[in-house]
């Protein structure tokens, strides 16, 4: 049969699939906030695409850069972060046992602080006092409440992350000498990455932008602020991708009826992400004056090292697919592919995300190559790349995750109709992104800039050609955006149904059985002091001298620019 495991009919697990009820509530509130932010974010994206394509004209009270900021912040930061933490709280309860009351209270405190920060930042975006885009680049200046909200958002996630990591290390203390469950290991690696990376954005927000917005300083060191942002901004991408990888490594093998190919290989990949995804921010600043070629070269080399754990992941996951397909009777070179559950949205949505990650990763290598970056820098190519990596690979994986995570934490079941709805959602999202992101890539090669509203540059022939092509056209971008919006609204409906209206019942938290090599896991892979120490050394090597030079030999500071975005 084409499907070995339907979404609504799971094989028996080797251990009880259980998330403590109190932990499930904490997970659920994170998921709820995530999907309401998602709905608002995709509607903002629809308006943005239609306005940039010249199809509609926004009313005077609604600014293009206002909705662009809301779209980026709500989808790329709020939706992803809340869903990741909801996933982590449920998964840690499932694999490491229920949280203690003290740690659970820490989790709730983190949620409350993060939500207060989210509301503060969002209120300023709505009031058009923070139309500074997702990157909030200086010298564009937002209201001080926006920066305060960002700071609280980051601090809140640190508090919640501390609760999760403390739960992990408590398990290690109670089980000396045992390899920790892969879920806890991977979640801890992801959170350490998040905390260390967050120091950069906290430093620029608290040390530069907030005093600047409060009028305590008249100017800001733009080069330093952008460097600190990208110290955070690139590992932020891996903060999104690593939980998606966790679904690929830990959940998908169970969904397809198998087990992970190698636990040691998975641990090594996450360690490499921790080491090499932070000291690489300069590849976002290859066209930035004030950073010497030597340091750009160093961080470019480190950027290409990050490709290694992604290749390890590709090998491990597809080896898992083939191993499982052959165990279920697949013969020949490729016939095992037929044994995979193509009609199960929990597998199909993440799998489509995996496929898209192939061209997305290739585009990332182009962005990080100095000569090629000079061609695509600050064009729509970069936006198209971002929508492939985060907007497709991560989002589709999170969609697939939602179809089992929400029933697990609400005590409901995934029905046949919901599975079909999820399949339709996946196809719509994939088709819409193919049109939108594909057109963005080509328009970028033709010179269409990013971060701009609708304009024909006084009917310049080059700019007019961006609206006249069949595929390489802003109109195609808008059409893709419409299809994506339809998929997003359908996904929000799926969320509402699964959260409150699906039939009551028990749903398994799918988790791969321990890989065969688990008893032989090298103890070195769980030596966190060693890996954190190496990560710190790499960061200091890559950033100390450049940042020192930016401070001691600071370029002229810039005054605030805010009248251009009102």
543 is catalytic: no
Candidate list 143, 385, 412, 474, residue with the active-site label: 385
Q: Tokens 């090499």 identify what position?
A: 276
Q: Kindly tell me the burial class for residue 417, based on how many C-beta atoms sit within 10 Å of its own C-beta (0-12, 13-18, 19 or more).
A: exposed
Candidate list 450, 495, 509, 543, residue with the active-site label: 450
Listed residue (381, 387, 383) closest to 442, CA to CA: 381
8 is catalytic: no
Three-state DSSP at 288 gives: coil
451 is catalytic: yes
Candidate list 234, 259, 267, 441, residue with the active-site label: 234
Candidate list 28, 82, 229, 238, residue with the active-site label: 238
234 is catalytic: yes
Candidate list 377, 413, 451, 497, residue with the active-site label: 451
Please give the C-alpha separations between residue 559 and each of 48, 135, 288, 363, 547, in angstroms, as whole numbers: 29, 18, 19, 35, 21
Give the whole-angstrom CA distance, residue 198 versus residue 233.
9
226 is catalytic: no
Give the whole-angstrom CA distance, residue 417 versus residue 508.
18
Candidate list 35, 88, 276, 386, residue with the active-site label: 386
Listed residue (270, 229, 230, 235) closest to 250, CA to CA: 270
Give the whole-angstrom CA distance, residue 387 versus residue 312.
23
Give the whole-angstrom CA distance, residue 128 versus residue 108.
30
Residue 446 · residue 472 · CB < 8 Å: yes
412 is catalytic: no
385 is catalytic: yes
φ/ψ of 220, rounded to 5, equals -135, 145
Residue 496 · residue 397 · CB < 8 Å: no
Give the whole-angstrom CA distance, residue 118 versus residue 462.
40
Query: 10 Å Cβ neighbour count for 350?
Result: 25
Candidate list 30, 52, 346, 387, residue with the active-site label: 387
Catalytic positions are 234, 238, 385-387, 450-451
């Amino acid at each position: 049969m084409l499907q070995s495991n339907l979404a609504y009919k799971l094989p028996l697990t080797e251990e009880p699939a259980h998330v403590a009820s109190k932990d499930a509530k904490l997970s659920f509130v994170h998921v709820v906030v995530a999907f309401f932010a998602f709905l608002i974010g995709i509607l903002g994206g629809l308006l943005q695409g239609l306005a940039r394509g010249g199809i509609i004209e926004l009313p005077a009270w609604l600014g293009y850069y206002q909705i662009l900021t809301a779209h980026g912040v709500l989808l790329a930061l709020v939706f992803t972060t809340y869903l990741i933490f909801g996933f982590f709280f449920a998964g840690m309860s499932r694999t490491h046992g229920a949280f203690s009351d003290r740690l659970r209270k820490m989790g709730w405190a983190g949620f409350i602080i993060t939500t207060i920060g989210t509301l503060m930042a969002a209120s300023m975006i709505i009031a058009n006092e923070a139309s500074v885009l997702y990157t909030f680049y200086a010298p564009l200046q937002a209201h001080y409440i926006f920066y305060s909200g960002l700071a609280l958002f980051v601090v809140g996630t640190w508090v919640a992350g501390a609760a999760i990591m403390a739960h992990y290390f408590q398990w290690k203390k109670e089980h000396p000498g045992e390899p920790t469950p892969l879920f806890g290991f991977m979640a801890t690696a992801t959170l350490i990455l998040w905390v260390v990376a967050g120091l950069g954005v906290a430093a620029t927000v608290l040390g530069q932008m907030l005093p600047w917005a409060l009028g305590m300083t008249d100017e800001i060191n733009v080069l330093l602020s952008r460097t600190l942002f990208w110290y955070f901004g690139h590992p932020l991408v891996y903060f999104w991708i690593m939980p998606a990888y966790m679904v690929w490594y830990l959940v998908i093998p169970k969904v397809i009826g198998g087990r992970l190919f190698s636990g040691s290989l998975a641990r090594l990949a996450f360690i490499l992400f921790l080491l090499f995804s932070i000291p690489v921010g300069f590849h976002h600043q290859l066209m930035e004056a004030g950073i010497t070629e030597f340091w750009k070269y160093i961080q470019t080399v480190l950027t290409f090292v990050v490709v290694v754990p992604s290749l390890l992941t590709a090998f491990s996951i597809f080896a898992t697919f083939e191993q499982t397909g052959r165990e279920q009777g697949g013969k020949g070179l490729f016939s095992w592919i037929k044994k995979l559950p193509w009609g199960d949205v929990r597998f199909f949505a993440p799998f489509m995300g995996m496929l898209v990650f192939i061209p997305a990763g290739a585009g990332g290598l182009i962005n990080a190559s100095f000569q090629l970056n000079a061609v695509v820098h600050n064009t729509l190519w970069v936006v198209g790349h971002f929508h492939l990596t985060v907007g497709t690979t991560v989002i589709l994986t999170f969609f697939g995750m939602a179809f089992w995570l929400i029933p697990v934490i609400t005590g409901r079941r995934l029905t046949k109709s919901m599975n079909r709805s999820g399949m339709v959602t996946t196809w719509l999202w994939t088709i819409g992104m193919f049109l939108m992101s594909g057109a963005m890539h080509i328009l970028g090669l033709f010179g269409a800039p990013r971060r701009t509203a609708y304009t024909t540059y006084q009917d310049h022939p080059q700019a007019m050609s961006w609206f006249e092509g069949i595929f390489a056209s802003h109109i195609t971008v808008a059409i893709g955006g419409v299809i994506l919006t339809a998929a997003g609204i359908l996904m929000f409906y799926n969320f509402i149904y699964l959260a409150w209206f699906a039939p009551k019942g028990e749903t398994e938290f799918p988790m791969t059985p321990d890989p065969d090599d688990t008893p032989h896991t090298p103890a070195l892979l769980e030596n966190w002091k060693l890996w954190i120490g190496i990560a710190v050394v790499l960061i200091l090597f890559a950033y100390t001298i450049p940042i020192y030079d930016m401070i001691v030999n600071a370029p002229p500071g810039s005054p605030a620019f805010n009248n251009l975005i009102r």
